[in-house]
Amino acid sequence: KNEVEQSPQNLTAQEGEFITINCSYSVGISALHWLQQHPGGGIVSLFMLSSGKKKHGRLIATINIQEKHSSLHITASHPRDSAVYICAVRSRGYGGATNKLIFGTGTLLAVQP
Amino acid sequence: GAVVSQHPSRVICKSGTSVKIECRSLDFQATTMFWYRQFPKKSLMLMATSNEGSKATYEQGVEKDKFLINHASLTLSTLTVTSAHPEDSSFYICSASRAGASNQPQHFGDGTRLSIL
């Protein structure tokens, strides 16, 4: 079993739909990242959070430390949101000072016009 | 915002050659940079942690002599794939975070697509 699990693995949505991607982890963490990877390969860091909720534009990320679960929400989805979304955690066991991450397998999102 | 520059973005070369990939933090200092490898439709696999001024820390199964890492300054780490073979073809990506504090966000380069013929 992976230490970081994401669901769904693949998601197809219609433009305008509200989208939720889930991430569960089994290790103690100091922070959780949501990343976006476009087809060209480059990765953009969307959020880093250790508690509560963060919002940036149409994107919202939440985390429940007790349940070891995080969600990424996209409101009013658009075809340009099509990408792979990756959840990554910084495990306490790895030593927070090194910022080493454990990655989920990603969620491939396709938003159709 | 912080930017990490990775160069080159794409390399095609013959089997047996060595390929150097650079990772630069453009507007911040990074005592630690990370090198990842990504296979098609798979997640990132950490290869090694690059430490400024000291030896890199390699993950289990990664050949140190095959993937040479040098982190000579606070803004530059290089990964050299030595005597590359077709099985080394992959997408390589680096990341870095600001020096001096833990729990900093990581900033990723745009990656290097390496194709060995």
pLDDT at A96 over 60: no
Q: Does A28 touch chain B (CB under 8 A)?
A: no
User: Binning pLDDT at 50, 70 and 90, where does residue A95 land?
Assistant: very low
Residue of A nearest to B100 (CA): A97
Q: Does A106 touch chain B (CB under 8 A)?
A: yes
B65–chain A nearest CA distance, Å: 22
- Tell which residue, A36, A45, A3, has the closest CA to residue A106: A36
State chain A's mean pLDDT as an integer. Answer: 91
Q: CB of A41 within 8 A of CB of B91? A: yes
Rounded to an integer, what is the distance from CA A70 to the centroid of its chain?
8
What span, in angstroms and rounded, lies between the C-alpha atoms of A93 and B59? 15
Kindly list the residues of chain B whose beta carbon comes within 8 Å of any beta carbon in chain A.
32, 34, 38, 42-44, 46, 49, 91, 93, 95, 97, 102-111, 113
Measure CB to CB from residue A86 to each of B34, B43, B102 and give the nearest one: B43
Q: How far is CA A44 from CA A37, A64, A65, in A?
A: 6, 23, 24
Measure CB to CB from residue A31 to each of B49, B103, B113 and give the nearest one: B103
Measure CB to CB from residue A100 to each of B38, B49, B108 and give the nearest one: B49
pLDDT at residue A99 in the model: 61
- pLDDT digits 0-9 by tens, A32-69: 999 999 888 889 999 999 999 999 999 999 999 999 99
Q: How far is CA B66 from CA B2, B47, B69, B97, in A?
A: 30, 11, 10, 25
- pLDDT digits 0-9 by tens, B78-90: 999 999 999 999 9
CA atoms within 13 A on the CB side of B22: 11
- pLDDT digits 0-9 by tens, B88-115: 999 999 999 877 656 678 899 999 999 9
Which segment of A88-102, B4-18, B31-45, B54-68 scores lowest on mean pLDDT? A88-102
Mean pLDDT of B70-77: 90
pLDDT at B2 over 80: no
Token pair 């990581």 in the structure block, residue: B106
Tokens of B25: 């933090």
Q: Is A113 helix (H, G, I), strand (E, B) or coil?
A: coil
